[in-house]
Amino acid sequence: MIKSDKKIFENYKFIDLFSGIGGFHLALNSLGAKCIFASEWDKYASETYQENFEIKPSGDITQIKETEIPAHDILCAGFPCQAFSISGKQKGFEDTRGTLFFDIARIANYHKPKVLFLENVKNLVKHDKGNTFRTILYTLEELGYNVFAKVLNSGHFGLPQNRERVYIVAFHKTIKAGSFSFPTPINRPVCLEQILENSPNDAKIIRRNDIEIYKNYSASGSLFSETELPNKPIQIGKVNKGGQGERIYHPLGHAITLSAYGGGVGSKTGLYLIDGKIRKLSPRECARVQGFPDDFIINSSITQAYKQFGNSVSVNVLQYISLEIAKVLQENKITDKIELELKYA
C-alpha cells in the first residue's frame, strides 16, 4: 500500500459495492475520500470489513433499492462476472438485467456519480468472444459515461504478485475526461522474499516424497541481484505431476495469482521454497502481496482469510489509478472555477 499525505479526494464520497474485505475502501480512503455505503453478501467478508472500518456492509445489493443508497461522487465495485443471456444485442441496460452488473448500472443511472471505478478478472475482456465486455462498455456509454478500460498487472505496481485484472474507469459526461490515462507501470524491482514473515506458524509446510526441485536450480547463492529481479514468478520445481497448485516457486520472484478456490497441494497461494522448506504463504503474506497494511485485521479462520485475499483487489493498483482519476477531477474543478469567474466577471 502506498503511503500518501495527499488527501486529493478530500470532500469526495464513495460507495463500495461487492466490497469484499475493503480493498477499494483502503485505496480511496488513503487519499482522503469518505465511504458512505458498502454492500457485501458474504457474511465472513462483511465481518472482516466491519472489524477494520467500523462500517457494517448492507447485504445482497440486488435486494437494495437505489433510492436507499446515499448520493455519492464515486461508485466502486469489484463485481463478479456473469454471462449475459442476450449479450451483444446492443440493448445496453436491458442486456444486463439479471446479472450483478445490472445493479451497478441501475444505481449509476439513478445517482449519476462523477466516476465509476470497476475491477474484474482479465478473462472478462474475452468472455463470450468479447460480447459480454462490449455490452458492459456500451451500457455505461448509454448511461452517459465516457469509458476507459485496461488490463493491468499488480506485479508492475510494486506488489510481488502476478495478478492481471481489467480495470474500468468511467467519467460522467459532465466531466471533461480527455486527459485521463491509466498509470504507467512503475516496474520497481520487488520480490516475494521482501514481504515474507519469519517462520509463520500458519503457513502450511509440505512434506512429501514426490517433490522435485529442478537440476538447474542452485540452492546456494543468489539467482539475481537486487536490480535484476525478474518481477515475475520463477518456477523451480514441482510436486506430483506439476499441475495447478503443484508448482514450486522461488521467493526472489513473484507470487502466483492468489485464488479463492484453486486446487492442488498449494491451493490458493502456490508453493514456495523458503528457508529450505516447501510451504504455502501465510494469511499475512497474502495480505501483503495484495497491498494490505500490517495493521489490517485478518479473519481468524485461515480458510476464510485465504478466500478473502484471493477474492480481493490489489490496493496499490487502485491507488495508482485513483491518482490519475484525481487529476481529471482536479482539472475539472479548476476549469469550473474559471468558467464561473468568467460568467460573473
Mean pLDDT throughout 92-102? 66
Per-residue confidence (pLDDT) for residue 71, from 0 to 100: 97
The terminus-to-terminus CA distance of the chain in angstroms comes to 45
% the chain with pLDDT above 90: 75
DSSP per-residue letters across 187-214 = -----GGGG--SS-TTSPBP--S-EEE-
Note if 81 is an active site residue.
yes
Catalytic residue among 35, 76, 81, 286: 81
- Strands 74-77, 115-121: pairing is parallel
3-state secondary structure 252-305: CCCECCCCCCCCCCCCCCCEEEECCEEECCCHHHHHHHCCCCCCCCCCCCHHHH
Beta-bridge mates of residue 37: 15
Per-residue confidence (pLDDT) for residue 1, from 0 to 100: 81
Return the residue matching grid coordinates 498487472.
Answer: 153
CB 43 within 8 A of CB 289: no
pLDDT band at 338 (very low <50, low <70, confident <90, very high): very low
pLDDT band at 132 (very low <50, low <70, confident <90, very high): confident
Q: Which of 188, 191, 186 is nearest to 253 (CA)?
A: 191
- Longest alpha-carbon distance in the chain: 82
- How many CB atoms are closer than 10 A to CB 117? 22
Mean pLDDT throughout 106-110? 96
173/183 Cα distance (integer angstroms): 22
Q: Which of 230, 211, 227, 216 is nearest to 272 (CA)?
A: 211
pLDDT in tens, 271-304: 999 999 999 999 999 999 999 999 999 999 999 9
- How many CB atoms are closer than 10 A to CB 193? 15
Read off the pTM: 0.91
CA distances 120 to 31, 243, 287, 303, 311, Å, are 22, 25, 19, 23, 10
Domains and their CATH numbers in the chain: 13-184+310-343 (3.40.50.150)
Per-residue confidence (pLDDT) for residue 344, from 0 to 100: 44
180/176 Cα distance (integer angstroms): 9
1/291 Cα distance (integer angstroms): 5
DSSP per-residue letters across 69-129 = SPP-SEEEE-PPP---TTTTSS-GGGGGTTSHHHHHHHHHHHH--SEEEEEEEGGGGTGGG
Beta-bridge mates of residue 38: 16
pLDDT in tens, 33-69: 999 999 999 999 999 999 999 999 999 999 999 999 9
Mean pLDDT throughout 123-132? 85
Q: Which of 149, 218, 228 is nearest to 181 (CA)?
A: 149
Per-residue confidence (pLDDT) for residue 94, from 0 to 100: 56
Quick check: 141 pLDDT over 50? Answer: yes
Taking the alpha carbons of 289, 290, 296, 297 in that order, is the dihedral positive or negative?
negative
Per-residue confidence (pLDDT) for residue 262, from 0 to 100: 78
316/290 Cα distance (integer angstroms): 8
pLDDT band at 96 (very low <50, low <70, confident <90, very high): low
pLDDT in tens, 158-199: 999 999 999 999 999 999 999 999 999 998 899 999 999 999
Rounded to the nearest integer, the mean pLDDT of the chain is 89
Residue 187: left (phi > 0), alpha (psi -120 to 50), or beta? left
Quick check: 83 pLDDT over 70? Answer: no
